[in-house]
Amino acid sequence: MKKIILSLSIIFASLFIFTNVSALEIAKSGDDITVEGNYSSLRVIAGNKVDNKSTNDGLSFIAASDLLLEGESTYGFYAGRNVTVKEKINKDLFIAGSNITFNSSVIGRDLYLGGSNVKLNDTKIERNANISASIVELSNVIVGGDVYINAEKIIINENTEINGDLNYSSNAIVIGLDKANINDVKTHMEKEPKKISMYESFTNFVISYIGEFILLIIILLMLPTFKEELDVEDLNFSNILKNTGIGFTILIMVPILCIIGMATIILIPVSILTFICYFIAIYLSFLFVSYVIGNLVTTKLFQMDNIYLKASVGLLIGKVIARIPIIGGLIVFLMILFGIGHYIKLFKK
């Protein structure tokens, strides 16, 4: 999951460096937030419930539990549990969520979508659509290019037009294919995941746990000041939201700056070194945030101040969370963002 997220962030960055972004603005809320007005900036918005009605001639990054999109943006990068799209995207749209519904939407170029239940209604996509979900339903959809779908079930209703090819997984259940106007239909085989026995899974878990525990302890013992900062880290909602928002911005902006730097010969070594540090920092973020969680649990429940107990308990909690299907990967991603935001706080100090 972490490798996929990192790869996507670099892809997004390489696309975005050619846009006109005049400023960076971060809007955030602990509960409900409604965004209105006209902007020309990189906007990062996070909240429990977000209703975006703004027009943004730039990049929009929005994450929320319930997300309603009714505005207009050049690029959209959205994530949420329930996402409703009634928006015009002038170029590319990237969405990850559980329940995703499109109503009266226009995507100027390509759509990249990953979710559980996906419904595209009254939607026009000028170029290609790439969709991965459990159930995909198309109704009154016009696609100028190709449609590539990985899904268990595909439902096609009336007035669906695909000017390119429809390529879907061969094991999918397809309903209403004859109702659509499609240039050509193709299927592809999905690779069968390698089956791992319970013994192998448990052994891999134990080995990785021990290795990460040793690494975490070595770093904390070598950097006592950093350990003290982790011990006093406050996990209130406001602090979590702030650090996560900062971390999300850094996650996107560092690859952009590195790619720009590589265009200049003199900055290539600096850019490569920055990339290496960037990936190391992302990996260590999970370990450090696990320690923070372990510190909270041990001090509250056991009332003990022991570095080894904090590290072992926190890392165990973090690795168990990471193994939860779907939601575990999202929580780990948020942990990484929080850890990156914590780095920035330490640099300020």
Q: Give the per-residue pLDDT at 192.
A: 60
Q: Give the per-residue pLDDT at 59.
A: 77
Q: Which two tokens stand for residue 346?
A: 């330490």
Torsion (CA) 282, 284, 290, 291 in degrees, nearest 10:
-140
Distance, in Å, from the CA atom of 346 to the CA atom of 349, rounded to the nearest integer, reads 5
Alpha helix ranges (H) inside 109-236 = 198-222, 224-231
Q: Give the per-residue pLDDT at 193.
A: 58
Per-residue pLDDT tens listing for the chain (349 residues): 344 333 444 344 444 333 333 334 444 445 678 888 888 866 777 777 888 898 888 778 787 788 999 989 988 888 888 999 999 999 999 998 889 999 989 999 999 998 899 999 999 999 999 999 999 999 999 999 999 999 999 999 888 999 999 999 888 999 988 888 998 988 887 666 567 778 778 888 888 889 888 988 998 888 888 888 887 777 777 777 888 888 888 888 888 777 777 666 777 778 788 888 888 888 888 898 899 888 888 887 777 778 888 889 999 999 998 888 878 888 888 888 888 887 777 766 6
Q: Give the per-residue pLDDT at 237.
A: 74
pTM above the 0.75 mark? no
Q: Using the 8-state DSSP alphabet, how is residue 171 labeled? A: T
Distance, in Å, from the CA atom of 144 to the CA atom of 190, rounded to the nearest integer, reads 25
Q: Give the per-residue pLDDT at 225.
A: 82
Q: Using the 8-state DSSP alphabet, how is residue 300 labeled? A: I
Q: Which two tokens stand for residue 134?
A: 């459990």
Q: Give the per-residue pLDDT at 3.
A: 41
Q: Give the per-residue pLDDT at 49.
A: 86
Q: Do 127 and 148 form a contact (C-beta atoms < 8 A)? A: no
Distance, in Å, from the CA atom of 95 to the CA atom of 118, rounded to the nearest integer, reads 11
SS3 of the chain: helix, strand, coil, percent, to 5: 45, 35, 20
Distance, in Å, from the CA atom of 44 to the CA atom of 59, rounded to the nearest integer, reads 9
Place of tokens 């995703």: 100
Q: Which two tokens stand for residue 308?
A: 């080894």
